[in-house]
Amino acid sequence: MKRAPAPEHVDSLVTDARLIGERRGQVLRAAVKLFSKNGYYTTTIQQIAREAGVSIGLIYQYFGDKEDILFLSLKLVLESYEAEIPRRLAGVEHPVERLAMAIWAYCGIVDSLRAATVLAYRSTKSLREDRRQLIMDDELRTNRLLAACVRACVDGGYMREVNESLLVYQYVLFCHAWALKRWAIAGTMDCAEYVAEGIKLLLEPFLNAKGKTALDAMRGATKDFRVDPRETAAPKVAAKTRKKTK
């Protein structure tokens, strides 16, 4: 009996990894736009091909069917969380700063993938069961990352004891709401203001005095979550070097 493919497997007639990445990315961007606007079931492969500027035949060289496209679209969102949040946490040592940075990074990813975030809420149920489980597993890995940040704040004596799981889901829902409720929120604040207000509502009340002191210091260093000082350090060093060599 032929073994069924693993749920994460997506057929491709092409074997060149670079080409697979490029072409799939091209198709996925078009698909996310159409799935989010028109819905998964009403969007056709023909419409995706037209939006992506490719032929229907080319799509079937890189995907087995439309569900493969949806599955990889949703994986793209969750893998972005899993890759980008740790990148933004690199070099951040203080537990309060790490938790605030994780929330900030999460919102930033949602802001850059708004359509795909909305799609994840609308269409995960359209996947077959084994793939839905993979998507849920991906989400739980990101949740565990946030939970570790919360636990470090508690263990370090910066935050009172909390129900970590419930608090993490409040953070997740808050970050996702930037995409899901953008129609109502975006007219009143930008993403940085949204992050600042969310941290004021969902992090600061759980901190003790020394935790709040650490948070206030981070607010000052980041200009209230508008500038990551690590992102601006390198250009300043380069500028000084150029000045010395003139």
Residue 4: predicted pLDDT: 61
In this structure, the answer to whether residues 28 and 96 fall within a common structural domain is: no
In this structure, the answer to whether residues 25 and 101 fall within a common structural domain is: no
In this structure, the answer to whether residues 59 and 78 fall within a common structural domain is: no
Q: Which of 4-8, 46-50, 80-84, 233-237 is the least confident region?
A: 233-237
In this structure, the answer to whether residues 59 and 166 fall within a common structural domain is: no
206 belongs to a structural domain: yes
Residues 66-75 pLDDT 10s: 999 999 999 9
pLDDT at 243 over 60: no
Residues 96-117 pLDDT 10s: 999 999 999 999 999 999 999 9
Here the CATH number for the domain that contains residue 14 is: 1.10.10.60
Q: What are the distances in angstroms from CA 170 to CA 31, 74, 177, 183, 188?
A: 29, 21, 10, 20, 21
